Structure 1
């Protein structure tokens, strides 16, 4: 604490992009508990990402989003990209 930290949850099924944030120049900016990665990529296959690989992570993702929202005093919306 004692620093500004964006209220964000970064999620990617493929770990290399989020790992770059964990080890790169912005590693001090984001809380490590808000960086969520899968173990494998969905290989640009929507049904694989939605029904199998992504489905395994949904409880963890929703829990992390809930915790971030509970820390907000006046939540006005989400940006999904």
Structure 2
């Protein structure tokens, strides 16, 4: 708790790796995770590919504008006289 108070007050820890290790151990024990558990890597998917697949899966003809549409620059519309 002393080291946590030091960090909270803005002081630097003398051994941050030791502190992090003890925090990780505490979290693992509270979640009942075995210290010998193997971490499985997840596949990285590019955001562009995920967005493209999502757009292809849902029709966009009468869909409400998404946040991306709102952030995009407005298109140039020619006024007809």
Larger RCO (CA under 8 A, 6+ residues apart): 1
Could you say which structure has the larger radius of gyration?
2
TM-score by length of 1: 0.21
Q: Which one has a larger percent strand, Structure 1 or Structure 2? A: 1
